[in-house]
Structure 1
Amino acid sequence: MHFHKKVIFLLLTGVILSMPASCVTKTNQQSKQPKGATIFKGTDTNKGGLGHPEIFTSNLPIVIIDTSGKWIRDEPKIPAAMKIIYDKSGGRNSLSSQHIDFKGKIGIELRGKTSLGFPKNQYGVEIQDDEGNDKDASLLQLPAESDWVLNGPYSDKTLMRNYLAYEFSNRIGRYASRTKFVELFLNESSDTITGDKHYVGVYLLIEKIKRGEDRVDIKPLKPADITGGYILKIDKTDRYETYFFTRTGTRLFHVYPK
């Protein structure tokens, strides 16, 4: 498949926003294995289908996740390997490309509540070192951090609502999670990556909301000093989370500090 580049322009209070979109038409390594995760097996060039390096190309970065045959669940995270292919010069990305933006070990889990029942899942991703400890890394030229979200916008058929909301906020100088559109391939079997079997669609790579200089930049709190910033959220009940009610009955969950 080839994904021809389009540009969508939106005008909001004098700000022009451009973003890539995908239009589909049809055309005719191996490294040291990180502890707890498989090496990448490459692409299948012996079978027909999207797995052929010559066939699948995209103007979007390509994310490949391999779980070594384990199924991803909703906690705890399981070890996996992740590779991101991205040609910074603006060229098209393919499964066989040597333009590697990131390659390493991650922990991955399902995320969400209602969306757990969707055919297109959402994932929480933590970059890890060889010992399974969290490690900061820059993905797709975003500031280095360990925690990320792969958002599968199944209920948003435009694929743009989260992107636009976050982008508009950042454009007016109010921090919101930075995002990048990607194409995701997910291998939960022991097979070689092929597009026919492992392509799961367009996703939005999102910075996870957390305290940090390059995320929500608020003063860290200490037991003896509680003057500073707090992060709260409105969400569905989780039995492991603490919360309180406002005077109007709104339930607020603690995100930071825990």
Structure 2
Amino acid sequence: MSTKSYILTDTHTHIYYHVNNSTLEEQMLRCLDKGIERLFLPNVDVASVTPVMDTVKAYPKNCFPMLGLHPCSVKENYREELKSLEQALAIHKVYAIGEIGLDLYWDKSTLEWQKEAFRIQVNWAKSMGLPIDIHCREAFNELFELLEELKDDKLFGILHCFTGTIDQAEKAIDLGFTLGIGGVVTFKKAGLDAVVKEIDLQHIVLETDAPYLAPSPFRGKENESSYLHYIAEKVADLHQIDIAEVARITTTNSKRIFGI
């Protein structure tokens, strides 16, 4: 059990990559010791549905699933993949559709497929009353154009791994999105710290995106959800408040978004 008097929420972690081996248990113990009691798990394709659900089954009080087709998993057969995910949604309770979005870093040629897959999945979220968890890499303009097209009172969620400018942050907030702040906020030359300092904490949730994007002092190494407290400490420092207050506000924000 945690020795902490607060509860932190990792709103985006792939900790399920370690399901069915001792690493999962070790990482979960380190999380709980640091007060990180709530972890939200986004899948990326059809193959990752089972690992997500197996992790949730192993830690039902701490791990909560999302389901979606990651933009880097959008290939020529994306409609078949979406059909399979829709069938999975019919049998599994999930708390968001994600991670979904646009990624022009790895492959620009699939942009139209990515957009269509995004539209389809946003409609799932709206019909189910769920938030969406957005992945966006080198595609802010294209994403905002899509969100403007799709916006209504049913569109909401998290812009995961936000690393943009203050103008992009304000635009995302105006569209009804909360910003997922991860390890990049601890990087000295990234500039995200200056942006986060200007944003009211009611618009922020915390995340690790483990095993990617480990915060300082682990930059370049494998990330894990227990490192979330380094991110929380950095945000607390930027806003000149106690980490317990950051935990309270950001966990409250996560409860509002995910409904749990």
Fold match (TM-score > 0.5) = no
> When the two structures are superposed, what TM-score results if normalisation uses the length of structure 1?
0.28
The structure whose residues are more often strand, as a share, is 1
Bigger Cα Rg? 1
The structure whose residues are more often helix, as a share, is 2
